[in-house]
């Protein structure tokens, strides 16, 4: 008799525990997968900050579907392995959607895991391949490399009339993708690429390859890796007395670039989507004001704002469809058209690509000041 009673107590206790954890879903969990540490730490922290701020604002308005939102952050260190580990952690944690990661490599390694688990993923990463796999869970909140590639080719050939073009990338999937797309776009409009080289990110000593490039007498060196290498490449280019212009792809556009390149920053061309503070949209101004009030600094870059837009689109979808069923959310997002965003109207195509965004070319003067020198039409 006693034993039976005990058994009942145990069974009911177990039931209480199980049900409390299952129905503690009085919250909707939003995941952040971002490089909180590592070379892109400030970008990762920016994404995390932005998501936490928007979620806090939404919770202040009463959350979504009567539930509070909760942020779960995972540090992928910007690596492929880290991305896969984070994806499993976040899926096990029961998140509805994941914001991030910042760069393409960890985003790509996490994609299939989210797709299998049916967790929505929105990232600013720009490798074309990300939307080519056909995962219904993936939504790009920025624009792909191919859009930047076309713009870059036009700038180099049609606007600047460079005759001898050198392209440099690192080995990351983002960078090689962008380099390949740019070379293809250049060839299409008759650009003359005399050399395509790859550098080892973080190796710091770029003088051997630059000396080799010097002997080819290029007009321009186009580098589409990250600012941690780009700033050094520019500094070493100038100190080797190479006269070629330097054009940096979007990931060079970071204040650290100017610190690394020092005086050599002057005359550098940067190609990027508009900087946060020159976005014309009222939502952008409001976002920046809130961000500064909360964190006492500006977001590290435009990429923070893209990811914020990804989150806003997902929150909007939950609100409109009144569900957290990701199949329905994805269907809603795939048909989303001109939802007002921080970085301009948000429209997703059927393959999760964000339609219609604009690049600009800037010239750097006074070591860190920007001047728009070229934009399309």
Partner 1 sequence: MEIFLQQIVNGLAIGSIYALVAIGYTMVYGVMKLINFAHGDLVALAAYVGLTVLMQAFGMHITNLWAIILMFVITALFISLCGVVLERLAYRPLRKAPRLSAVVSALGASLAIENGIMLIWGPNIKVFPSNVFPNMRWHISGVVINSTQIAILLLSVILMLALYIFINKTKIGTAIRATAIDQDAAKLMGINVNGIIIAIFALGSFLGSIGGLFIGIYYRELYFQMGWIYGLNAFIAAIIGGIGNIPGAMLGGMLLGIFNVLIAGYVSNSWSEALTFVLLIIILIIKPTGILGERVAEKV
Which residues on adjacent β-strands are paired with residue 32?
Answer: 73, 99
Please choose, out of 96-104, 194-202, 327-335, 357-365, the segment that lies near partner 1 by the rule CB under 8 A.
194-202
- Site size toward partner 1 (CB under 8 A) is 33
Contact call for residues 346 and 336 (beta carbons, < 8 A): yes
CB closer to partner 1, 179 vs 311? 179
Neighbour order of strands in the sheet with 97-99: 68-75, 27-34, 97-99, 120-123, 138-140
Contact with partner 1 (CB under 8 A) among 27, 38, 184, 370: 38
At 263, list the tokens. Answer: 């005086």
CB closer to partner 1, 120 vs 233? 233
What Å distances lie between residue 323 and 72, 115, 148, 282, 319, CA to CA? 20, 18, 36, 29, 8
Please choose, out of 113-121, 129-137, 196-204, 345-353, the segment that lies near partner 1 by the rule CB under 8 A.
196-204
Least Å from the CB of residue 42 to partner 1: 5
Q: What are the phi and psi torsion angles at 194 (to 5°)?
A: -90, -20
Residue 202 interacts with partner 1 (CB under 8 A): yes or no: yes
Contact with partner 1 (CB under 8 A) among 166, 209, 247, 270: 209
| 56: Cβ contacts below 8 Å, ≥ 6 apart | none
Longest dimension (CA), the chain: 94
CB closer to partner 1, 79 vs 321? 79
At 76, list the tokens. Answer: 């992928």
CB closer to partner 1, 212 vs 322? 212
Class of residue 181 by CB neighbours under 10 A (exposed 0-12, middle 13-18, buried 19+): buried
Least Å from the CB of residue 172 to partner 1: 14
CB closer to partner 1, 121 vs 175? 175
Site string for partner 1, 232-271 (x = CB under 8 A): x--x---xxx--------------x--xx-xx--------
Least Å from the CB of residue 296 to partner 1: 17
Contact with partner 1 (CB under 8 A) among 116, 163, 212, 289: 212
Q: How far is 320 from 314, CA to CA, in rounded Å?
A: 10
Q: How far is 198 from 130, CA to CA, in rounded Å?
A: 22
Least Å from the CB of residue 212 to partner 1: 5
At 12, list the tokens. Answer: 């009911």
Residues found near partner 1 in the complex (CB under 8 A): 36-39, 41-42, 197-200, 202-205, 207-209, 211-212, 214-215, 228, 231-232, 235, 239-241, 256, 259-260, 262-263
């Amino acid at each position: 008799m006693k034993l039976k009673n005990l058994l009942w107590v145990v069974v009911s206790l177990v039931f209480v525990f199980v049900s409390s954890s299952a129905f503690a879903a009085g919250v909707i969990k939003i995941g952040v997968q971002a490089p909180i540490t590592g070379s892109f730490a400030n970008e990762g922290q920016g994404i995390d900050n932005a998501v936490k701020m928007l979620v806090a604002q939404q919770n202040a308005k009463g959350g979504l579907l009567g539930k509070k939102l909760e942020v779960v952050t995972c540090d992928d260190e910007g690596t492929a392995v880290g991305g896969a580990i984070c994806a499993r952690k976040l899926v096990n944690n029961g998140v509805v959607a994941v914001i991030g990661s910042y760069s393409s490599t960890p985003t790509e390694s996490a994609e299939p895991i989210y797709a299998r688990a049916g967790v929505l993923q929105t990232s600013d990463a720009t490798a074309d391949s990300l939307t080519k796999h056909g995962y219904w869970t993936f939504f790009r909140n920025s624009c792909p490399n191919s859009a930047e590639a076309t713009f870059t080719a036009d700038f180099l050939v049609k606007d600047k009339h460079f005759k001898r073009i050198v392209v440099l990338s690192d080995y990351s999937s983002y960078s090689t993708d962008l380099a390949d797309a740019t070379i293809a776009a250049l060839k299409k409009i008759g650009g003359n690429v005399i050399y395509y080289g790859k550098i080892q990110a973080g190796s710091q000593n770029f003088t051997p390859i630059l000396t080799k490039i010097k002997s080819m007498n290029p007009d321009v060196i186009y580098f589409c890796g990250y600012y941690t290498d780009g700033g050094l490449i520019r500094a070493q280019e100038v100190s080797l007395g190479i006269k070629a212009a330097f054009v940096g792809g979007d990931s060079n556009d970071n204040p650290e670039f100017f610190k690394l390149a020092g005086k050599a920053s002057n005359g550098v061309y940067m190609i990027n989507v508009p900087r946060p503070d020159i976005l014309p949209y009222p939502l952008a101004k409001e976002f920046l004001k809130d961000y500064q009030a909360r964190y006492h600094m500006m977001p590290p870059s435009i990429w923070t704002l893209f990811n914020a837009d990804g989150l806003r689109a997902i929150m909007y979808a939950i609100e409109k469809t009144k569900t957290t069923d990701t199949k329905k959310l994805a269907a809603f997002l795939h048909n989303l058209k001109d939802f007002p965003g921080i970085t301009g109207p948000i429209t997703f195509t059927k393959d999760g690509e964000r339609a219609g965004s604009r690049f600009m070319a800037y010239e750097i003067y006074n070591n860190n000041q920007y001047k728009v020198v070229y934009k399309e039409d």
